[in-house]
Amino acid sequence: MGVMSCVVDLGIYYRLSFTAADRELPTVVVDATGCQTVLGIGPIRWVAGSPNFWRRLGKAMGLAAPTYETFRGTGGALG
């Protein structure tokens, strides 16, 4: 993979739970700041690989007009 540089990590994580056919699937953990990693089923992934991730997650949650800013908290240092 190589060296990776990420912005400040404010420790904001979202734990996503899924079920299918009445069966609970493994929890997926998304880091909303820092490297924005996605941990859970399969290898580590990065939100940067899915530009619409935050908007789609917010829509699935029933939010009207979600963006990345909706999920990253109030860390003004993120610019």
4 lies in some domain? no
Return the closest-CA partner of residue 17 out of 7, 26, 9: 26
65 lies in some domain? yes
2 lies in some domain? no
40 lies in some domain? yes
* Whether the Cβ atoms of residue 16 and residue 77 lie closer than 8 Å to each other: no
70 lies in some domain? yes
Structural domain total, the chain: 1
**pLDDT for position 39:** 93
Tens of pLDDT along the chain (79 residues) come to 567 778 788 889 999 998 999 999 999 999 998 889 999 988 999 988 888 999 999 999 999 988 888 888 764 444 4
6 lies in some domain? no
- Can you give the residue range of the structural domain that contains 22? 13-74
28 lies in some domain? yes
